Structure 1
Amino acid sequence: MFPFIKTRHFLKNLLPENYIDIHNHLLPGIDDGAKTIQETTELIADMKKLNIQQSIATPHTFNLKWNNTSQTIKIAFENATVNSANKSFLKKYASEYMLDSSLITKMNQGELLCIHDNFLLLELPLLSSPFNLYEMLFEIKIKNYKIILAHPERYLYLHNSIAKYEKLKEFGVFFQLNLLSLTGYYGKIIQKKALELLDSDLYDFTGSDIHSKTEINQFKTVKLQIPNKKKMEHLLLNNSIFLK
């Protein structure tokens, strides 16, 4: 499927200057990302060295696991940005919402935090598809949200048919590639699917999904092959629309 490739790249070397990250877990103490403000500050300093110069913080909101609200996220953001260096990097806050019935309830109460305007970052369960997936997506769409699906390459139940991805795209869902998927960080199967979706022009945006220094190191130490470097470079620039 992919052309023969000789060149391998460190992921950090593919990022354009002033890359904007729209998916990360930098806010301290509210999910499985940074635990303290000090850790937030250290991660931001490391991300700047990767050419990531601005970001939108997207902590998890996941019923019964990370029960975040607009208020808890706002407080964590304010705590993290007391430091001026952090404030210049963390430009906004939103959330990565698990798609389930509790999300629909939150939406009907008007509590959802968007990345930009009405762009809403969603994730699905990793191992099994919601039985009413399209019904919930429809409810979100009729509220005039634009849906960005985080890391579609990681949902194994979509892997057996490219038509499942195409159906989501036809439904108006935007796809956000986890950059680390290209390195094999989540496994070879997910790496292969990420390359397939990239080659098929199904991605719209990208994100680091950085939680800790473990992910930072992947950007610096793992070389990867990209079937079409120019296509990848173009994709990486798409995030710029979110901080205009």
Structure 2
Amino acid sequence: MVDIHCHILPGIDDGAKTSEEAVEMARIAVSDGITDIIATPHTYDGLYSQRTENVLKSVQDLQQALGREKIPVRIHPGSEVHVHSELIDHLYSGQILTLGNGMKHVLLEFPSVHFPLFSKRVVRQLLDRGITPVIAHPERIEVFRLNPSLLREWIEQGAIGQVTAGSLLGLFGRTARGCAIDFVQQHLVHVIASDSHHVRSRRPELSQAYKALATIIPEEEVEMFRYNAQAILHGKALQILTPLTKSKQKRWIFF
């Protein structure tokens, strides 16, 4: 399995605090069946503004530490970019890392309770340049929960949605869980990620979320989620189903 959203790099955001914790997170990931992790430290969120060279160095250092410990997981560079008006300029000046550093997919985080006026312009500019916006955990963003038509509009234009594993398992509450199921059934999210931050809570695990996903949608659609994570890592085209209207979706199946 591939985890495209994980705060495993130590000491650079609110994820792993130490190298030891990062190594332990990697152990947990491997025991869950994860083979590749895209490290996605927060950037341009008003608190963290990562320098690309520092992220790349941190990825290299962590990979070396994992090699010494013989932990078989590959770490790849990326970032979770808070949407901001200068995002395109920062992307092309090398100040923002795309997922896997391939200039194909960029992980976007939106404010929870308000919608910046420039957001539509930024998403449109990314799409026009052949870069796919990956909307991080829309089921946990109140703007999208209250206005799913906004998310649908972007998906129909070519963006994709990333649902958090913990949301499908109820770790963020019933509201996030119900919304996650809704978005899955409406084909508004297309890839699962852990959004892991620590070893005790929000762990780097995906297997139980995939099992939960299989109770909501057919197995062939579950396989699309797996494929899409691989495709993002390698900069390939994703498999996307046409969004459904809510009236056509299946009933929620709770587990």
Q: How does 1:68-217 map to 2 (within 5 A)?
A: 68-83=50-65, 84=67, 85=69, 88-116=72-100, 117=102, 118-213=104-199, 214-216=201-203
- Per mean C-alpha deviation after superposition, the further-off stretch among 36-45 and 150-159 is 150-159
Partner of residue 216, structure 2: 227
Give the deviation of 1:41 after TM superposition.
0.4
Bigger RCO of structures 1 and 2 (CA < 8 A, at least 6 apart): 1
Normalized against structure 2, the TM-score is what? 0.79
Seen in structure 2, the aligned counterparts of structure 1 residues 220 and 87 have a Cα distance that, compared at 3 Å, is: closer
| 1:103 Cα offset (Å) | 2.4
Q: Is the deviation greater in 84-93 or in 63-72?
A: 84-93
Q: Could you tell me which amino acid in structure 2 is paired with residue 36 of structure 1?
A: T
Larger mean CA deviation between 65-74 and 140-149 belongs to 140-149
Is this contact kept in 2: 1:37–1:79, CA < 8 A? Answer: no
Deviates more, 1:201-210 or 1:215-224: 215-224
How many residues in Structure 1 have an aligned counterpart in Structure 2? 226
Q: Which runs of 5 or more structure 2 residues have no equivalent in the other structure?
A: 235-255
Unaligned runs of 5+ in 1: 1-18
- 1:178 Cα deviation (Å)? 0.9
Q: Distance in 1 between the 2:96 and 2:204 partners?
A: 32
Cα distance change of structure 1 residues 204 and 91 upon mapping to structure 2, 3 Å threshold:
same
**Structure-2 separation of matches of 1:87 and 1:69:** 27
**Do the aligned residues in 1 keep the contact of 2:192 with 2:206 (CA within 8 Å)?**
no
What CA distance in whole angstroms lies between the structure 2 residues aligned with 1:29 and 1:217?
Answer: 17
In the alignment, what sits opposite 1:54? 36
Which AA in structure 2 matches 1:135? R
Among all aligned residue pairs of Structure 1 and Structure 2, give the percentage whose two residues are the same amino acid.
25
- Cα distance in 1 between the residues matched to 2:207 and 2:105: 30
Shift of 1:220: 8.6
